[in-house]
Amino acid sequence: MSQAEVSGQAGSAKVSKKEYLKGWVSYRVKRYWFFVGMTIVSLVLPWITINGNHIFLLSFDKLKLHLAFVQFDMQEMYLMPFILMILFIGVFGMTVLGGRVFCGWVCPQTIFRVIYRDLIETKILKLRKRIKNKQKEPDWSKPENKAKRVVAIALWTALSLLATANFLWFFVPPEDFFPYLLNAGDHLILVGILLITTLFLVVDVVWFKENWCVYVCPYSRIQSVLYDEDTVMAIYDPHRGGEIYDEAKHKQYTKQKDLQAVEPNAECTTCESCVTVCPTHIDIRQGLQLECINCLECVDACTEVMGALGRPSLVRWSSEKEVLFQKGKTHYLRPKIIGYAVVLVIIMVVLGMMGSKKEHMLLNINKENRLYAIEKTPEGKTLVENDYIFLLQNTQDKDHKFYFDIEAPKGMEGKIKILKPTKPFTVHPGVKKKKIVRLYTTEELVKDERKDTVLPIKIHAYAIDDKEKIAVDRESTFIFPRYDKYEAAE
């Protein structure tokens, strides 16, 4: 019988401890494995490249954005708002569904505190006697504890340095990061960010601790707006356990006998294991609190205590609807959740569509202030010239030779030609090249005696060595003079 099945039993029906805990794995252990997986992924991802492109890289150094192994220029940063929308809407949707599950299972602050408190202080250095007691601090007056604390801080400083470097690898890729560090004098900003962020992590994790979650992080203030009665969270069942706190949130009972004197069927043993294990130092029996990060350690604690009595846990990962209001089962697939999912899908589709239209070269075309020039050719023909400024950027990783073709309006094909440049030109990677372009015609394209005529043209620019991939089309205009001006030139 699984924990969920037993927890769903009505009232205080007893089963054996062995039957109750059969196949049960604590949320704490599950979180540890989840943290290990997240750590491995975050450390490995920056090193994975396809054709020199990363899965995500926002390089301020080279002014590039890599997304899903596709490289974008900074002029294509219109994609970033979509990425941020996916991040924020995803977190908000996660909160509506599972409360502050992001805080307890994904947030780096929580992961870092678990590493420092549970691994370094408790498991490695034995400064703390038990992982399940997060309220009792080590006795820092003892000389041996002071020495161990220095070791703990040294270990965490090294890990903080690695964590900061890992974070920076998504902005300065590893292939550049380490050469930059070897030439630190030319990259003082990078070195400064690395050292200052490392120092912040040491101060935050060693001294500020969960106070960050309680007093600084704005997310806890936002969550109350997002919650509804179906939001899943760590929640105490007062119907079975008894009302430990009154309506004013004042503690009424500290001993089980006092509680049962008022509520004979109350099952809470007042052992306070759920309080002792809480990293943010709250009592889950007091009800919904901003400080709760949904780490579910209180669920584990009560599960073990009540399991020894052959009963389901009094603290469950469930909803107010199911536990407090007892209105039935929690509805996971509800309109609000479907709405978040639909919005996320729409944003991802739009992001995919916009990302798929990436251009492998950038080209801006501006006409010069002079509308046109009219002159005679040595052969006696009238030549009409329009001048343009091409600003072209090679977004690839190697040199390319570029040129372009002109597509004139229907009926004028081949009559508007290139006067300058006369041959392809080389553009180096990441370089913006300014090119003066002159187009001309020696044909009488339009005979309008009232005004100059603006003719739409299409400019097809491309790399000579890769016309299929590296090519763009731009709309522009060619201005043909009023007929009396054209005729006067003749």
CATH 2.60.40.10 range(s) for the chain read 361-489
Cβ–Cβ under 8 Å, residues 228 and 331? no
In angstroms, the CA 46 to CA 54 distance is 7
Handedness of CA 25, 27, 30, 32 (dihedral sign): negative
Nearest to 16 by CA among 315, 307, 316, 313: 307
- Give burial (CB, 10 Å; 0-12/13-18/19+) of 91: middle
The pLDDT assigned to 331 comes to: 92
Predicted TM-score (pTM) of this structure: 0.79
The parts of the chain modelled with pLDDT lower than 70 are 1-23, 490
Q: Any bridge partners for residue 54, and if so which?
A: 49
For 361-489, the fitting CATH number among 2.140.10.10, 2.60.40.10, 3.30.465.10, 3.40.50.1100 is 2.60.40.10
The pLDDT assigned to 405 comes to: 94
The pLDDT assigned to 487 comes to: 84
The pLDDT assigned to 14 comes to: 55
The one-letter amino acid code at 34 reads F
Q: Any bridge partners for residue 393, and if so which?
A: 362, 432
The pLDDT assigned to 216 comes to: 87
3-state SS, residue 52:
coil
The pLDDT assigned to 289 comes to: 87
Nearest to 385 by CA among 377, 375, 373: 373
19 CB-side CA count, 13 A: 12
- Give burial (CB, 10 Å; 0-12/13-18/19+) of 403: middle
